[in-house]
Amino acid sequence: MAGGYLISAVSWRLIFLVNLPVAALAVAAAVRHLPESTDPTVGRRIDLVGAALAAAGLAGVTFALIEGPDRGWADPAVLLLGLLGLAFLAGFVAAEARGSHPMLPLGLFSSRQFTGANLATFSIYGALGGVFFLLVVFLQTSLGYSPLVAGSATLPVTALMLFLSSRAGALAQRIGPRRPMTFGPLVVAVGIAAMSRLGPGDHYLTAVFPAVVVFGLGLSATVAPLTTTVLAAADVRHAGVASGVNNAVARAAGLLGVALLPAAAGLRRSSYRDPIAFAHGFQAAAVVAAVVAASGGVVAWFTIRDPVGEEPVVAPARSELHCAFDAPPLRPANS
C-alpha cells in the first residue's frame, strides 16, 4: 500500500526505498531481543566468490527470462547472458562444494527434511512472487485501479497472516508439519486458480476479495510450519545458516517467478498497456502459478515427516516468544 501511494504521489523509483525503514526497525529489534547463535566450526571469512557467482548467475538468468519474449529467445544478448547465468550458477555450486568457508554449506541438504522444506519454499514463493506482481498490475491495467487501491487490495493476505500464523505454528507443533505444509500450498493453489478467472469488469468484493482471502488462508497455514521445519532439520549451531538459506531460496524463487511467469504466459511489453491482452496473459500465468504452488504441497507430502515417538510440544507463553511462531525460542550460544 505504501508503494502504491509513493507511485501515485511521487515516483515509482521511491518504492525501492520502502523496505529501508522496515529493515532498520527489524535490525534494531533483533539486536535488542534475539539471542546470538554461533558455530565455532565456521570461520569468519566472507565468501565473496560464492556471493559474486550467485548474484551474476541470477542476474543473467533473470535478464534472459525477462527479455526473451520481446527480443526473441534466439537473440544473441538473451542467449549469451542466459547461458552465462547458468554457467555462473553451476560455478557457484562447485565453489560452495569445494570452498573452506562456503556461504551455502551443501552438507545441509543431506537432510531430506531440510531439502524437502526448501523445495517446497521454492515452489510456494515462486508462485507467490509472480502472482502478486502480476495481480497488482492486472488490477491497474485491466480493472482500472489506482496504484494505491491496487496495493491495498492485497491487505487481506497480510491481515490473515498476522492473525493466523502463530496459530498455524501452534497447530503444527501439535500434529506435526507434514499436513499443514501439504494442504496449505494446495489452498494457496485454489486461491490462485480463482484469480485465473478474473477479467475486465469484475468487482473487488465478488471476485478479487474471495480469491485473495483463500490465497491468504493457505499462505498462513504454510509459512510458520515451513520455517519451523527448516530450523528443526539443521543442527542448532547451523540455525542461522539454515534460516539464511531458506530466506535466500524464497527471495530467489520470487525473483525467478516475476521473470518466468510473464514469459510462460506470453506477456510482452505491449501487453502491459492493453487491458484485454494483459487479462488473458494474467489468467494463463495464474494457471501456471497454481500448478507450481500445488507442487510445493506434493513435495512436502513426500519429503516432510512428522516427529515420531515424541511428546507433544507445549507452546511457550507469549512473553517467551521472539516472533509470531509458537515454537521454543532459540537458546543463546552459551546456554
pLDDT in tens, 306-333: 876 544 444 444 444 444 444 444 444 4
- Which among 42, 43, 23 has a CA at the least distance from the CA of 31? 23
pLDDT band at 38 (very low <50, low <70, confident <90, very high): low
The rounded percent of the chain whose pLDDT value lies above 70 is 85
Is 32 within a domain? no
Q: How many domains does the chain have?
A: 2
Give the pLDDT score at 37.
65
Give the pLDDT score at 238.
75
- Which among 34, 53, 128 has a CA at the least distance from the CA of 98? 53
Residue 141 pLDDT exceeds 50: yes
The sign one gets for the Cα dihedral 272, 274, 279, 284 is negative
Give the pLDDT score at 99.
80
Give the pLDDT score at 5.
59
Residue type, 250: A
Instruction: For residues 231 and 83, state if they share a domain.
Output: no
Give the pLDDT score at 199.
92
Asked if residues 80 and 109 have their Cβ atoms less than 8 Å apart, the reply is no
Instruction: For residues 216 and 249, state if they share a domain.
Output: yes
Instruction: For residues 56 and 169, state if they share a domain.
Output: no
pLDDT band at 147 (very low <50, low <70, confident <90, very high): confident
Phi, psi of 34 (to 5 degrees): -95, 130
Give the pLDDT score at 318.
42
Instruction: For residues 160 and 308, state if they share a domain.
Output: yes
Instruction: For residues 91 and 202, state if they share a domain.
Output: no
Residue 176 pLDDT exceeds 80: yes
pLDDT band at 227 (very low <50, low <70, confident <90, very high): confident
Give the pLDDT score at 237.
72
Q: What is the pLDDT of residues 1-34, one digit of tens each?
A: 666 556 666 666 777 777 788 889 989 998 888 7
Round to whole Å and give the CA distance between 145 and 147. 6
Task: Write down the mean pLDDT value for the chain.
Answer: 85
Instruction: For residues 310 and 220, state if they share a domain.
Output: yes
- How large is the average pLDDT for residues 109-132? 93
Is 25 within a domain? no
Residue 285 pLDDT exceeds 50: yes
Cell of 306: 512428522
Q: Tell me the pTM.
A: 0.80
Instruction: For residues 114 and 70, state if they share a domain.
Output: no
Is 9 within a domain? no
The rounded percent of the chain whose pLDDT value lies above 90 is 54
Structural domain including 56 reads: 45-104
Q: What is the CATH number of the domain that holds 275?
A: 1.20.1250.20
Instruction: For residues 250 and 204, state if they share a domain.
Output: yes
Residue 220 pLDDT exceeds 60: yes
Is 263 within a domain? yes
Residue partners of 15: CB distance under 8 A and separation at least 6: 3, 6, 7
**DSSP state letters, 145-169:** --HHHHHHTTHHHHHHHHHHHHHHH
Is 265 within a domain? yes
Residue partners of 101: CB distance under 8 A and separation at least 6: 42, 43, 45, 46, 47
Is 100 within a domain? yes
Asked if residues 118 and 230 have their Cβ atoms less than 8 Å apart, the reply is yes
What does the DSSP 8-state code read for residue 309? S
Instruction: For residues 332 and 285, state if they share a domain.
Output: yes
Instruction: For residues 134 and 150, state if they share a domain.
Output: yes
Instruction: For residues 121 and 158, state if they share a domain.
Output: yes
Asked if residues 164 and 217 have their Cβ atoms less than 8 Å apart, the reply is yes
pLDDT band at 264 (very low <50, low <70, confident <90, very high): confident
**Residues written for the chain:** 335
- How large is the average pLDDT for residues 64-93? 92
- How large is the average pLDDT for residues 157-181? 91
Q: Among 24-28, 85-89, 212-216, 265-269, whose mean pLDDT is lowest?
A: 265-269
Round to whole Å and give the CA distance between 184 and 304. 14
Give the pLDDT score at 137.
92
Give the pLDDT score at 102.
84
Instruction: For residues 193 and 242, state if they share a domain.
Output: yes
